[in-house]
Copies of this chain bind each other. A is one copy, B any other.
Amino acid sequence: MNEKKPVILITNDDGITAPGIRALVEAVKDLGHVIVVAPDSPQSGMGHAITIGSPLRLHKVDMFEGVDSWQCSGTPADCVKLAKDKILHTKADLCLSGINHGANNSINVIYSGTMSAAMEAAIEGIPSIGFSLCDFKFDADFTLAKTVVHEMTTRMLAQPMPEHTLLNVNVPVVSAENYKGLKICRQAYAKWEENFDHRVDPRGKDYYWMVGKFLNMDKEPGSDVEALENGYASVVPVKIDFTDMQMKAWLSEQWPDMQ
């Protein structure tokens, strides 16, 4: 019974001091050997940014009882790359990112630092999950989210997964009684409609704040937005090959000389 514990790498995009990453660590501490490498400051909306033009700092910190933790000056994707090269001396069995303060369902997957960290691990062949709670508040209640994290992580460790597995899990803001369970979904067809708030600074110069409104244009069943609206936690498998194969076939018909 001397079974080796699975190595679980944890990161996020809200920074190492965010309540969301603390909830994530607490939720899975009993499931494996947890190692945290997370940004030293909030990185929301960083997408898949990486730091190539400036150096990175990495410091061991004492943040979570009994858990080896490092903070890094880079982006979520940088954290995973640095963890792989300088901290983990074995391949992690699982990478968990989050729990994000705010939804990363549908089109948010492309703007999300939480998901980019998970994607970076998936590219490395480490099965990964990005977790997000549909509540952007700093003092959000992570109780239900921790239950979801524990169940998904247990399932992932029990089931051998394909090499580049990457899941986007979003947790609705509902009471425990109204929570319906996990649901496998597809990314909803949606976008952000931005209006920039135009202001003038104390020196008389113009500046702009981004203000967005989420537009769900999806009318078909099976989307993550629909699942969340109905009290489910949505689970969307994400691809790291972005090729649009349908469009590729169509283009080949339009432009046969380009085949």
Chain A residues near B (Cβ < 8 Å) = 42, 44-53, 55-58, 77-78, 81-82, 84-86, 107, 109-111, 116, 119, 123-124, 155, 159, 162, 165-166, 181-184, 186-187, 189, 191, 194-196, 198-199, 205-210, 235-245, 247-248, 250-252, 254-255, 257-259
Q: Are A242 and B110 in contact (CB under 8 A)?
A: yes
Most chain B CB within 10 A, of A44, A46, A107, A257, is at: A46
For residue A118, give the distance in angstroms from its CB to the closest CB of chain B.
12
Q: Are A258 and B209 in contact (CB under 8 A)?
A: no
Q: Are B259 and A209 in contact (CB under 8 A)?
A: no
Given A109-B242, A162-B250, A208-B58, A84-B194 contact (CB < 8 Å): yes
Most chain B CB within 10 A, of A50, A123, A243, is at: A243
CB-defined contacts of A155 to chain B, threshold 8 Å: 255
Residue of B nearest to A207 (CB): B55
Q: What is the predominant secondary structure among interface residues of chain A facing chain B?
A: mixed
Most chain B CB within 10 A, of A84, A183, A244, is at: A244
Q: Tell me the bound Cα distance from A252 to B245 in angstroms.
A: 23
| 24 A–B pairs (Cβ distance < 8 Å), ordered by A | A44-B52, A45-B53, A47-B48, A47-B49, A48-B111, A49-B111, A50-B111, A56-B209, A57-B206, A58-B208, A81-B194, A81-B196, A84-B194, A85-B194, A85-B195, A85-B196, A155-B255, A165-B247, A182-B258, A183-B258, A184-B251, A184-B259, A187-B242, A237-B247
Q: Are A57 and B254 in contact (CB under 8 A)?
A: no
Return the contact of A81 from the options B119, B184, B210 (Cβ within 8 A). B210
CB-defined contacts of A184 to chain B, threshold 8 Å: 248, 251-252, 255, 258-259
Q: Are B56 and A207 in contact (CB under 8 A)?
A: yes
For residue A5, give the distance in angstroms from its CB to the closest CB of chain B.
23
Which are the 3 A-B pairs with shortest beta-carbon distances?
Answer: A47-B48, A237-B247, A47-B47
CB-defined contacts of A82 to chain B, threshold 8 Å: 196, 208
Q: Are A206 and B243 in contact (CB under 8 A)?
A: no
Q: Are A187 and B241 in contact (CB under 8 A)?
A: yes
For residue A50, give the distance in angstroms from its CB to the closest CB of chain B.
5
